[in-house]
Amino acid sequence: MVDRALGSYGRRHMHAIFVTAEITPYSGAGPAAEVCGALPKGLRSLDHAVTVVSPLYRSIDPDAHSLARRLSKVEVEVGGETQACEIYTGRTVSGVELIFLGHETLFHGTDDFELGDDETVARRAAVFARAAAKVVSDLEDVDLVHAHDWVGGAFLAALGETALPTVLTLHRGAEQRRFGGAVGELFGDAAADVDGAKAPLVAGLKRAQRVTVSSPRAADALRGTLADVMDPEALVGIPAGIDASIWNPLTDPHLPHRFDPVDLGGKAKCKAELQRDLELPVEAEVPMVALEERSNGAGLELFVKIASQILRNQVQLVFVAADSPEPLVERLDELDERWPDQAALLTEADEELRHQLVAAADLVLVAPETAPSGGPEMRAHRYGAVPIVHHVDALADSVVDCDAKLDTGTGFAFGAFDADEMLAAVRRALGAYRQPEAFEALQRRVMRVDHSWDRSARLYEGLYRELLESDG
C-alpha cells in the first residue's frame, strides 16, 4: 500500500475500489445500485478516493456520460473461450472515478445483469468477475476493495489471494444464485462448491475480511445462517442512507411542485396532480396510500388479502406492481375495476413516477417479509409520506412506531408478518390522518429525520481504517 498525504486532523486518505453489477444513475434501481451511487459520493466528501467498476449496459451511452474508451482491452478466459472486454473510464461531478467494462453480447445486450437463462447469467458473471479482477489488480495506489452482492462474491474469488483488505456487502441478505452442472463450471475457482452446485456468494464470503449489511438487526439475524461459511464476528450492520441530492422535495426536478417541512403546500398540489393523472377524484381530505414496489412477492400477497377491507374506508390506494407475478397483478386489476374511484394500478413505474408517487402519497406501505436493506421508508420520510412498515431488519432500525397522540414516532409498524397485523397498522395510520393538525406535525417531523449518507460514510470510513490498521 502507498502512503498518501495526510488530510485534516492527520488522517490518511484512502483509495477504495467498489465492484458492483449496478450503480445509479447509470444502471439498476435496487439497493446495491443506490448504495454504490451514494456511498462513494459520501466517501469523497471525506476526501477519500473512490473508483467504481461496473458493467457497461445497453442503456449507458458513453458519449452522454463523457466516458472515454481505452485503446487496450482486458482479456479473460471463461469456459475455454477468450473473452475481451472494452474499458471505458469517466468521473462523476463529485469526483468518483468510474470504470465500465463493455462486452458486445454479455453486457451491451441487456440492462439487467440477471436477465437470461442460467448459462447466460453465469457466463456474464464469470466474465465480469475475472475482467474486474484483472483491472483492479493493475490499478495503482489502491488501499482496499469493496464488493457487492453475489456478483461481488465472484469477483473476490477471482481476485484470489491479495494483500488488500476486502469488504463484501450483502444488499439482499443471504439470497444468492447457484449454478449446477456445466454451467456452474464456467466460474471455475470464482465460486464455491455447495451441494453439488457452484455458489459465487459463498466463495466471496470466505474471501472477505468483513461482510456488511445495511441493518444491525439484519446482521444479528444472519449470523446464525452464515456461520458455516464465515466468521460470524466478521459480519457488521451499518445503516444505509439515501442520496439527499437526488431525493429532495425542495429541488426535485421530477415534481410538478416543490415543498419542504416549513411549507407543505407543494405536497398537496403534487397529490392533486397525481389524482388527476390516475383519474381518481381530486379530494385533499381523502388519504392516499401508496404500496411501495419492493413489497412485491410475499408482502404483496399479504396486502391483497386485506385490500378489500381497506377500501371500505375513505381512502385511495395506489398499487405499484412492476415485475409482479401475473396472478397477483390480475387480483390487483380486479380491485382497480371494482373501486375505480379508490384504487389505481401501475404495472410500470419509471424514475419520474417513483418520485411523483412518494411526493403525492400521505402514507406509504412498505411490507416485505424481510428487509436486509432499507430505502423506501427513508424516501417516504424525506417526502412527508408517513411509512407503514413490517417491523423487521432495516425497517425496524429506521422507523419508530407512533404513539396514539402522534407526539412521538416516525411511522406505523406491525410486528408479525400477518394479514391481521398489517390491517391493524393500516387502520391506525388512517385514523391518524383524521387528526389533521397532529398528522401534519408528524409529516413535518419525519421530513426532518436525517437519512443522509454522511453518518454511514463515516462508519464505513471507520471500518476501512480498522482493516488497514490490522493489515499493518
Q: Read off the pLDDT of residues 374-414 as tens digits, 9 standing for 90 and up.
A: 788 999 999 999 999 999 888 888 999 999 999 999 999 99
**Sign for the pseudo-dihedral over CA of 170, 372, 59, 251:** negative
Residue 293 has a pLDDT of 59
Q: Can you point out the beta strands (E) in 79-213? A: 81-91, 97-102, 144-148, 166-169, 179-180, 192-194, 197-199, 210-213
List the domains of the chain with CATH numbers.
Answer: 8-241+453-471 (3.40.50.2000), 265-447 (3.40.50.2000)
Residue 296 has a pLDDT of 53
* b/e map 210-223, b = 16+ CB within 10 Å: bbbbbbbbbbebbb
349 pLDDT band, cuts 50/70/90, is confident
4 pLDDT band, cuts 50/70/90, is very low
Residue 132 has a pLDDT of 97
| Whether pLDDT at 254 is above 60 | yes
The DSSP 8-state label assigned to residue 373 in this structure reads S
Residue 294 has a pLDDT of 55
Residue 432 has a pLDDT of 96
CA distance 188 to 179: 11
Average pLDDT over residues 317-341: 84
Average pLDDT over residues 44-58: 96
| Whether pLDDT at 325 is above 90 | no
28 pLDDT band, cuts 50/70/90, is confident
Residue 226 has a pLDDT of 86
| Whether pLDDT at 285 is above 80 | yes
CA distance 363 to 312: 17
Residue 2 has a pLDDT of 34
What is the β-pairing status of strands 74-78 and 81-91? antiparallel
| Whether pLDDT at 323 is above 90 | no
Tell me the average pLDDT of the chain: 90
Residue 12 has a pLDDT of 60
| Whether pLDDT at 345 is above 70 | yes
Nearest residue to 317 (alpha-carbon basis) of 387, 377, 376, 364: 364
> 52 - beta bridge partners?
18, 98
- Phi and psi for 235 in degrees, rounded to 5? -90, 125
Average pLDDT over residues 91-111: 94
No. of H helices and E strands in the chain? 15, 19
Residue 8 has a pLDDT of 33
CA distance 246 to 254: 10
Residue 367 has a pLDDT of 84
Return the CA Rg of the chain.
Answer: 23
